[in-house]
Structure 1
Amino acid sequence: MKKVVDHITEMLEANNLTFIDKPILIGGMSMEYYGIRKAGADIDLIVTDEDYQVLAHKYPNKRKDLYGDLGMVIGEFEIWRSIAHLDYNFFKKDAIEEENILIVSIDRLLWTRVCAMEVEKYRNDLELLKEYYYNHYTNPKYHQEALLHEKSYLKMNGTVLGGKYDDL
């Protein structure tokens, strides 16, 4: 986590990027922050419309429009004012606050992958996120209980009616 935050802080300084409101880290780098997978080379951020307008004025040739989602490509950063037309306020909910940035919540990170699931890379990320949820939120007591009847579930296509297990 700290390594990711330090890297982003270093890259923001190297690119002389400042914001009125803390940008929100999304994308692969946020997946690395949560320990789900290594990030690629780019750093994806969501910013307020006010911050986007300042950047668009300062870097008019760096603007990018992806189906109406407006962004900027500056160095290794892709800086967006929306993803799937969902804005900063949507992604800010439950974000983790770090010194210079916010980290998208795991639930909102999942949403970014759902919005783009037709792309194989993001479908793969959905599998990794599913695994993350199971590893972090599964009730261990319930899981152990289910393992006792694994043979029955396999024989009966997962459903046992009336408590009649066939675990032999």
Structure 2
Amino acid sequence: MTIYFATHESPIGELLLVSHGEALGGLYMPDHKYGPQIGSEWRRDDRLLKPAKTQLDAYFAGELHRFEMPLAPRGTSFQTAVWQALNAIPFGRTESYGVLAARLGNPKASRAVGLANGHNPISIIVPCHRVIGANGSLTGYGGAIERKRWLLAHETRVARGRSVDR
């Protein structure tokens, strides 16, 4: 199977966008904990991934709060349920792992939710950065905690109507 990719400059570093066809299957940051390695079967296709790039630019400019594009993350049924639930966390807001687990119907599954969250293959667009520890701490992030901090600060500034620092 051919895997299509493109790279995209952003305020948090060069992003790797991945697709298996018409839907976005991955968005990874530099040194992403669970990021893929570009292989020989991969083909660069900036045209295919241009809609995702355009929406990312609008997000980083503070003009887009919710992404609208076809997504095709690959994971277990539990992981995909967690990733779908992430999209219900409003822009500029956070939610704890425990609250997310309770919303999924299993309040004791916060660790499992954390593991699924950490394996989210479509960072930023599926907003795993909005999940924090029960005490408000910024726990784990596959793209590095500094990027999580930046993304949350960016969304807070935009949500409060402040100018965007790039």
**Higher fraction of helix:** 1
Please confirm whether the aligned pair reaches a TM-score higher than 0.5, indicating the same fold. Answer: no
So what's the TM-score if we normalise by structure 1? 0.26
So what's the TM-score if we normalise by structure 2? 0.26
Q: Which has the higher contact order (CA 8 A, sep 6+)?
A: 2
* Bigger Rg over Cα: 1
